[in-house]
Amino acid sequence: MSSLPSDSVLGEARALAASGSWRALATMLESQISTDSHDGEAALLYGEARMRCGEEREALSWLRLAERVLRENGDRAAHRRAVNMIGAAHLAIGDLDAATTAFADALELATQHDDFILMGHASNNLGLIANLQGEREMALSHYRLALPTFQRLGKRLELSACYHNIAITFRDLEQLEEADEHERHAIEYASEGAAPRFACMGRIGRAEIALRRGDAPLAEMTARLAAEELMRLGDPQNEADAHRLVGAACAAQKRSFDALEAFDRALAIARARGHALNEAETLRDRVQVRVAQGEKGLAIADAKAAIAIFTRLGAVAECEALEHRLEQLG
């Protein structure tokens, strides 16, 4: 196995990454690099490809080995990016303590070396965790650090992701107009950056807002279209979220069979990939359908399983809401 891809291979790898062809990229690089690769860019591209394909645990193992090699080789730029990517892998599998530590380390390294783009990424990621744990103002403060950085550097994809994350926080604050405006910005930047995956994330966000406004048919239609496109794009994490939202929209329309079918698809993907947050949110949303069907025992089981995951993630507000639901169920 070669430890250093040729320039032509690396050029092709960059092109595949730019087009979002992550499965093809992972397959190509798998036979081209090893864990002692001295090419930091190739090592990180391979790690990112595995993550984008929903293989976060495999990516984490690879990135840990690559991070050590890059640190020992003195490739500082690639090393600090590897630290941030390790945090992203931990976040996806629900290990928030390790994710927070990695993102904080990446932010410190980026600050030391005036790596502004990584400062934006690390701040954005820390905002995600703060919002998940109910610290909305802290989340917004992280995003407000990241946003102008991405704007100054003209990073459209990063702007799309950041606007989407800000929208989630406003949605959680029930400021739906603000949330919808930020999702529109996210979709706009994703479209300009030719990034269909990011555009789908924005559309899922707008579908969630539509559901909260009481327009379940629109939410369902939007989420179904997003799920189909995300399946084609090979993005299981966001596909699972789209199926969850389809289920919630069907439940709001009192179509329990369709809702359970969508929830089952979301859970199958989330559990196969180890995506803890997707699993917890789907179980939480399925409680409503179990209650509507008179399946009190199953509703209680779903609520308790969701609480266990949300507790591990530090999502206090979610836990409190589900505990209250359990009290209502007796």
Higher pLDDT, 13 or 100: 100
Query: 208: which residues sit within 8 A by CB, 6+ positions away?
Result: 171, 219, 245
**pLDDT at residue 7, rounded to an integer:** 67
**pLDDT at residue 20, rounded to an integer:** 72
The single residue listed with the structure tokens 């102008």 is 148
Domain assignment present for residue 125? The answer is no
Distances from the Cα of 181 to the Cαs of 91, 137, 211, 230, 289, in angstroms? 26, 18, 16, 23, 31
Indicate the number of domains in the chain: 1
**pLDDT at residue 18, rounded to an integer:** 75
- For residue 227, give both structure tokens: 């799920």
Higher pLDDT, 175 or 13: 175
Residues 95-112, mean pLDDT to the nearest whole number: 96
**pLDDT at residue 1, rounded to an integer:** 34
**pLDDT at residue 34, rounded to an integer:** 62
Report the CATH number that the domain containing residue 86 is assigned in CATH: 1.25.40
Per-residue pLDDT band at 39 (split at 50, 70, 90): confident
Gap between the Cα atoms of 247 and 3, Å rounded: 46
Domain assignment present for residue 90? The answer is yes
Domain assignment present for residue 82? The answer is yes
Percentage of the chain lying above the pLDDT 70 cut = 96
Does the structure show a pLDDT above 50 at 154? Answer: yes
**pLDDT at residue 5, rounded to an integer:** 57
- What is the span of the domain harbouring residue 59? 14-94
Per-residue pLDDT band at 2 (split at 50, 70, 90): very low
Domain assignment present for residue 73? The answer is yes
Domain assignment present for residue 54? The answer is yes
Q: Tens digits of per-residue pLDDT, 188-222?
A: 999 886 789 899 999 999 999 999 999 999 999 99
Q: Across the chain, what does the average pLDDT equal?
A: 92
Distances from the Cα of 153 to the Cαs of 79, 167, 326, in angstroms? 21, 21, 48
Does the structure show a pLDDT above 60 at 276? Answer: yes
**pLDDT at residue 163, rounded to an integer:** 97
Q: Tens digits of per-residue pLDDT, 240-253?
A: 999 999 999 999 99
Gap between the Cα atoms of 65 and 82, Å rounded: 10
Domain assignment present for residue 153? The answer is no
Please say whether the dihedral angle defined by the alpha carbons of residues 315, 321, 327 and 329, taken in this order, is positive or negative. negative
**pLDDT at residue 101, rounded to an integer:** 97
Does the structure show a pLDDT above 90 at 80? Answer: yes
Domain assignment present for residue 44? The answer is yes
Secondary element (H or E) of residue 110: helix 96-112
pTM of the model: 0.88
Residues 223-229, mean pLDDT to the nearest whole number: 97
Beta-carbon-side half-sphere exposure of residue 141 (alpha carbons within 13 Å): 5
Domain assignment present for residue 83? The answer is yes
Does the structure show a pLDDT above 80 at 3? Answer: no
